[in-house]
Structure 1
C-alpha cells in the first residue's frame, strides 16, 4: 500500500509533467480550479489548486475534503502511483470504477486532453 509521502510525490511528479507539457495537454492543464485528490485506502485528501499548468497541494486532511473542489479525484494510493508512473491507463481505471473523477462538464471536456 502506497504511503502518504508516496502519494504526495506522485502528485508532484504529475504536476511536473503537466507544467512541461505542450499543445492540447498544456491548454488543458492551464485551468484555474480548486482540486481535491482523495486517497480512499489511506482516508486522506490532498486539497489544493490547479493553476498555471501545475497542481499546488495546499493541505492534506483526514477523511473527505472539508469543501467541495471544482475538480475531484478519488482512488487508492497504489492506483495514483501506478497512473502517474504510466502503469495504469486512466480511461480503463475510470471506466472500471477504480478511479472516480468529478468536475463540471466544461472541465471534463478540457481534462480529457490530459488523458
Structure 2
C-alpha cells in the first residue's frame, strides 16, 4: 500500500495537511518498504482554501494512508471520501520510525482499521506482498 507523510523536510512528519509543501510517499508491503518519491505542491496551487485541499488530495490520491500533524474538518471529510485514511501523529515524528511501526503492524496482527484497508486493496488487486 502507498502511504504519504505531510512534511516540510522529507524527514519528519511536521506539517498540517492544508499547509504541507510536500508529501513523502512510500510503498509498504509485508515483504518490505520502498521509498517512492517526494511529491511537491505546484506553485500557485494555494490560491484559495478549496484549491489548497484539492491540490494536496491530487498529490496523494493513490495513497491509502496520510500521516500528518493536523487536518481541518473539511479536508478530513474530503480525504476520507477518497478512501484515504488520515493518521494524526505528534509533531516532529520521524517518517522512518512511522514507516517501521506500520510495517511491524502489518507483520503482526494489524488493527481492524489497517486490516480493512489491506482487505480493500487486496480486493482491488493493488496489494503485493
TM-score by length of 1: 0.35
Structure (1 or 2) with the larger CA radius of gyration:
2
